[in-house]
Structure 1
Amino acid sequence: MNISIRKARKEDAREAVPLIMEAIGDIAMHITGETEKTKVTEEFEHLFTRTDNRHSYLYTYIAEMEGSVAGVLVFYSAEQATTLDANLEEYLSNKKGTAVKIDPETLPGEWYVDTVVVNPTYRGQGIGTKLLNYAEQLVKSFGGGKLSLNVETEKYAAISLYNRLSFDNVCPWTIIGEPFYHMVKTVKAD
């Protein structure tokens, strides 16, 4: 199994966006301001190719296998999230003509795994773990710190994986009115 992880490129949008949308569910409608699946996808692809929001290719990493997108990691710092979400709020508010608020997903000082998802064709091969380990290596290279993520409370397999990787459930969290667990792992610098 030859898996490589690289920074995303704009042209990855067509393969990466449907995977991200699958992972984040209804949040995709909220961050695109659309409700119809085709429109959500088109708008999400547009956001992916921009540089000023949390789902930009600039904050995305691709696990490649056999020349295909096998998995996706969206990763940024809490400080970046503040600016990225403010940009997205402004964009969506202008688009809709009414104020839009993006729920915060991370605590100050954290490095945040916004999304980790594996292409169904490649599931069960450890790619999700490799992407999470890659995020951990990024945190180490940035001097260490807290690596965090949110997981829906009923995603038991994901919670089990995160526990195996030493993430602790530190507090309940709410995103678009839905319950999540905020899980954190402390990562030491290299």
Structure 2
Amino acid sequence: MRIESAVQADQSAILQLEQTIFDDMALPIYDELSVEDVQQAMALAVAKSEKSRYHFSRAVVAKSDDNEVLGVLFGFPDSEEEQVDHAFQSILADKFSYHRWMFEDAEAFSNEWYIDSIVVTSAARGQGIGTQLLKYVEAKAKRDGQKVLGLNVDNVNPRARKLYESLGFSAVGALTLENHHYTHLQKNI
């Protein structure tokens, strides 16, 4: 297994893996659009703009020896949060007549490199892949001159919070995203 920056060939697999998180969030968009429609809009958005939230250039992946994506971590500097969903929202409006924001709330705190999401395939969980993705992105962010990593953890996921805290993250705030309560954690790097 290896950890590396994602490449174009990973795009489809990482979007499918990201859907795992969306399924757990029960987002309101799914009251009007199918999973397939949302996935199509995401695929079109990442093809349209490298600035898209789930573009492969914003991802770090864990891959098996046979090149299968086992996990993905997406992130970006907080200063880019306002623009990461523009292409996606434009496609939702133009192609699917969906005019609400999928992600309405600000997630990142100021002056941090924000870890938007991290997910590992169900078959690969419990092997330390999430930890390796986090350590890789920490080193990468530090090389890029970042001083703070930030992320949100769902309050109903104490196992994830325990992992983040064991890696040096601490609670700095709370927020509600799409009716889910989260704790915002940060780590100085």
Percent sequence identity is: 28
Q: Is 2:51 the partner of 1:52?
A: yes
Selected match of 2:146 from 141, 144, 150: 144
Which stretch shows the higher mean deviation, 103-112 or 29-38?
29-38
Are residues 97 and 125 of structure 1, via their aligned partners in 2, closer, same or farther at CA, if it must alter by over 3 Å? Answer: closer
Q: Report the equivalent of 1:73.
A: 73
For residues 97-124 of structure 1, the C-alpha deviation after alignment (integer angstroms, 9 at most, x for no partner) is: 6353632110121101111111122111
Secondary structure, aligned partner of 1:52: coil
Which stretch shows the higher mean deviation, 71-80 or 81-90?
81-90
Q: Distance in 2 between matches of 1:35 and 1:89?
A: 13
Residue identity opposite 1:59 in structure 2:
R
Q: Report the equivalent of 1:98.
A: 99
Q: Distance in 1 between matches of 2:92 and 2:76?
A: 21
Are residues 48 and 157 of structure 1, via their aligned partners in 2, closer, same or farther at CA, if it must alter by over 3 Å? Answer: farther
Aligned CA-pair RMSD: 2.5
Q: Report the equivalent of 2:162.
A: 160
Kept after mapping to 1: 8 A contact 2:11/2:55: no
The alpha carbon displacement at 1:6 in A equals 2.1
The alpha carbon displacement at 1:23 in A equals 2.2
**Runs of 4+ deviating beyond 2 Å:** 23-35, 37-50, 85-102
Are residues 49 and 33 of structure 1, via their aligned partners in 2, closer, same or farther at CA, if it must alter by over 3 Å? Answer: farther
The alpha carbon displacement at 1:90 in A equals 4.2
Q: Report the equivalent of 2:136.
A: 134
The alpha carbon displacement at 1:57 in A equals 1.2
Are residues 24 and 113 of structure 1, via their aligned partners in 2, closer, same or farther at CA, if it must alter by over 3 Å? Answer: farther
Q: Distance in 2 between matches of 1:141 and 1:58?
A: 16
Are residues 70 and 26 of structure 1, via their aligned partners in 2, closer, same or farther at CA, if it must alter by over 3 Å? Answer: closer
Q: Report the equivalent of 2:7.
A: 9
Q: Report the equivalent of 2:61.
A: 62
The alpha carbon displacement at 1:45 in A equals 3.1
Q: Report the equivalent of 2:125.
A: 123
Normalising by structure 1, we get a TM-score of: 0.84
Residue identity opposite 2:135 in structure 1:
N
Q: What runs of 5+ residues in structure 2 fail to find an aligned partner?
A: none
For residues 61-103 of structure 1, the C-alpha deviation after alignment (integer angstroms, 9 at most, x for no partner) is: 2111122111101011111222223444444444436353632
Which stretch shows the higher mean deviation, 63-72 or 39-48?
39-48
Residue identity opposite 1:75 in structure 2:
G
Kept after mapping to 2: 8 A contact 1:33/1:92: no
Normalising by structure 2, we get a TM-score of: 0.84
The alpha carbon displacement at 1:158 in A equals 0.4
Matched residue count: 185
Secondary structure, aligned partner of 2:99: coil
